[in-house]
Amino acid sequence: MTPLTGATAAALRCWLAERGGRPNDPLFPTRMGDPLSRATVEHRIATYVGRAQSTCPSLASKRVTAHVLRHTCAMRLLEAGVDTTVIALWLGHEQVETTAIYLHAHLGIKERALERTRSPSVVPGRYRPKDSLLAFLESL
């Protein structure tokens, strides 16, 4: 199960009424009424990315796939402070450890963790060594 926002639920109710299918029919069927396959989803993404390139030319150099969209969703949830166990459940990962890759990929989370460990008496900033120290280190 996946929670939905009120706006998404309303849009889906409209779609279901318009579609007029039976309760067990796929939510997003193909023209033949079958469930969308992974290949069909990838094809549709490629089609819409191609169309979007006319207004966003930088998309031509980007690789946009269902996997990339899924990864982006996970990273956005992580940035919003959602716990990795919740993200793992949301994405359907069999093991929570699978979601740990997002933690490794997100530099901002690492920076925030370092911020929490900084001593309150330390003034933030970059260390600038004196020229004499640099000269000594160069001589080694």
Span 3-19, average pLDDT: 90
Query: Does a structural domain hold residue 16?
Result: yes
Lowest-confidence region among 78-82, 83-87, 90-94, 99-103: 99-103
4-31 core/surface letters (b: 16 or more CB in 10 A; e: else): eeeeeeeeeeeeeeeeeeeeeeeeeeee
Domain that holds residue 58: 10-62
pLDDT tens-digit profile of 18-71? 988 888 899 888 888 899 999 999 999 999 999 999 999 999 999 999 999 988
Q: Are residue 103 and residue 72 in the same domain, yes or no?
A: yes
Tokens 């997003």: give the residue.
28
- Assess whether 56 and 72 both reside in one domain: no
Give me the numbers of helices (H) and strands (E) for the chain, helices first please: 7, 0
Residues 6+ apart with CB under 8 A from 64: 45, 46, 49
Whether 82 and 38 map to the same domain: the answer is: no
Higher-confidence position of 39 and 95 = 39
- Position of tokens 């000269």? 135
